[in-house]
Amino acid sequence: MKRLVKLLIVAAFFNALSWIILIPVWQYPDEQAHFAQVQDVSEIGKVPPASLDTSYEIALSEEILGTSRDSFGNNKYTYHPEYKIDYSQNDSGIREKEILQLSKPSRTELVKREATLNPPLYYILGASIYKLFDDESLITRVYAVRVLSTAIFVTTIYISSEIGKVPPASLDTSYEIALSEEILGTSRDSFGNNKYTYHPEYKIDYSQNDSGIREKEILQLSKPSRTELVKREATLNPPLYYILGASIYKLFDDESLITRVYAVRVLSTAIFVTTIYISFLIGKLIFAKSQFLPLILASLVAFKPMLVFSSTGVLPDTLTNLLFSLIIYLGLRVIRDGFLPKTLVCSALVVFIGILTRQQFSISILIIFLALSIRLIIHPKYIKQIAVLIFTTMLVYYLLSLNTSVPILTNLRFQEDPLSTIKMINISSFIQFASGTLRHTISEVLPWYWGVYRWLSFTLPSTYYQIINRLILISFVGLFIKLILIIKNKNFTKDDFVVAFLITSSTIYFLVITLWDYIFSLKSGFSFGIQGRYFFPLVVAHLAILLTGLVQIFKLFFKNYASYLVLLLVPLMIIFNDLSLFHVSSSYYDATNFKTFVLQASQYKPLFFKGYIILIIPAIAITLQMAFIVSLVRYSKSINESN
């Protein structure tokens, strides 16, 4: 078992690394905006209190790479899945030299506002990696920060004790980032669209070698371009992920923007790999009687392509998903083991850390209370103590959330009086809104949950979604049958309470997000626009529910072959992952010729990700995937024989 888990982790790491390498600069969700905040923390020490916050270096790279956005927030990729930049005939992009030759002053020459305004922890860590590559190009710095995501276990010692502040100003994104966005086609307009938005056919122009046409512009940007704020685009999320990212950024401070980005990407990957292991531990609590299903669950998490994509870029989603997974794990421990002080203290700590990562992490408090409530149903003797705990927690949280200027506690503060917000809610209009949201979720958000790329412009062939939808439907039938059997036998076991906890937690999360969107629409006149990845914090619970329903069907109708059908889910998910990576990378590069593909994929990448390493790492990933499948089959056979 331990050997298989280790093999899974290694295979998942190389799979994630394959995504990192093949996804071009600024192609993760709002990556240039998050990197702009990393750059601001590293170069200036904070997001500047002005109207501009994005450097010329980043802006130029966005323009070169087709990610510069128009006033609608769209770039050349938005709504244009067919778009590709022009590629050269070698491994250097047509305009790659422009990025590579950007001087350091271009990093602080701010030309637009695009940097994020999230809390600083991740950005401080990213800035540490960034500083290590201070003399390198933008591309090298970007990839260095991407690499930070993978190296989180080694780099946690670099976490800064001083939290950088995101200023309440109009500019927060450096010239360096703004230029790179302009070069890479991800610079957004006033509507939030760039060249990729609504343009799946869009591609940046490529050179005939491994250096992009304007890559030198990015690489030669000077350090002042990192603090020269030119626009407002930085996120305003809580600080934890950004402090981690800034620490890694600082390690590559002398490298280019591109290297710094990739260093932080690696940090995200390391966090994601940790999530995979936590999903295995969760599987052991959900499927306590099975030696096999926990590995299946962890495998589904490890190779779900959209999850890999959203967990390996420069964005705090990966840390949010990890912390929510820990909440699910701790909630299950409460249900299984009871009110252990250690579990409750760990839950409070994770909630606190989570609120410093993402604003919506307050939902986790409801999930913990749900676990406590279920435990009370099983063993009601502690009801008075839990009632006091719930009341005290709500009171303390409310008091901390209002009228405090303490830096850390500002992340716990309600943005406005919650009572006045509640008064805005009309039950009938909310039900109508929720019904529309449910229809929208089924028709658009669900497919996006399984895969939407290139700034929401590129989806996979419809056959993939059709297969997934049928598996989901089969799973729902299995869950319904399971419910009927429970009612018929009048026997609600602890395992059944666990499944109920997962389903109810997922429902609570969906309803809270829907309620937030409803309130947002009342204030702004339009919906915020919920994406599939917004539900990834509970992805382990979702996949566990899916697996539970499928196992029920397999055991009921395919008794002798149930274990083989369950096992088949893993290679199917791995194939889905590999094909997704192929489709997505092919949308950026010419995949009809190996040499051309390598040359184009090498452009606007750090030096260590140029050339045939582009193919070697995915080849290693596929080899490890095959080795894992073979080992999993052998392990399954050994379990069946022992039974």
Task: Round to whole Å and give the CA distance between 197 and 455.
Answer: 5
Cα angle value 353/359/361 (rounded, 5°): 55
Residue 480's pLDDT is 95
Q: Which is more confidently placed, 53 or 170?
A: 53
Instruction: Please state the domain count of the chain.
Output: 2
Task: Round to whole Å and give the CA distance between 70 and 192.
Answer: 7
| 447 is a domain residue | yes
Residue 16's pLDDT is 80
Task: Round to whole Å and give the CA distance between 182 and 221.
Answer: 14
| 613 is a domain residue | no
* Poorest-pLDDT segment among 40-49, 291-300, 349-358: 40-49
State the average pLDDT over residues 64-92: 79
| 225 is a domain residue | yes
Task: Round to whole Å and give the CA distance between 145 and 314.
Answer: 8
* Poorest-pLDDT segment among 89-93, 124-128, 372-376, 586-590: 124-128
State the average pLDDT over residues 266-273: 93
Residue 399's pLDDT is 60
| 91 is a domain residue | no
Q: Is the pLDDT of residue 223 over 50?
A: yes
* Poorest-pLDDT segment among 153-167, 441-455, 628-642: 153-167
Residue 50's pLDDT is 63
Reported as a pLDDT band with limits 50, 70 and 90, residue 105 is confident
Q: Point out the domain boundary residue: 542, 567, 592.
A: 542
Q: Is the pLDDT of residue 404 over 80?
A: no
* Poorest-pLDDT segment among 98-102, 519-523, 619-623: 519-523
Q: Is the pLDDT of residue 165 over 70?
A: no
Q: Point out the domain boundary residue: 526, 542, 558.
A: 542
DSSP output for 275-296: HHHHHHHHHHHHTTT-SSHHHH
Reported as a pLDDT band with limits 50, 70 and 90, residue 396 is low
| 522 is a domain residue | yes
Task: Round to whole Å and give the CA distance between 503 and 508.
Answer: 9
AA identity, residue 407: P
Task: Round to whole Å and give the CA distance between 380 and 377.
Answer: 6
| 515 is a domain residue | yes
* Poorest-pLDDT segment among 17-26, 83-92, 93-102, 390-399: 390-399
Q: Which residues span the domain enclosing 499?
A: 427-542
Tens-place pLDDT, residues 423-448:
667 788 878 888 888 888 888 889 99
* Poorest-pLDDT segment among 151-165, 217-231, 250-264, 501-515: 151-165
| 356 is a domain residue | no
**Inter-CA distances, 309 with 23, 450, 509, Å:** 9, 11, 22
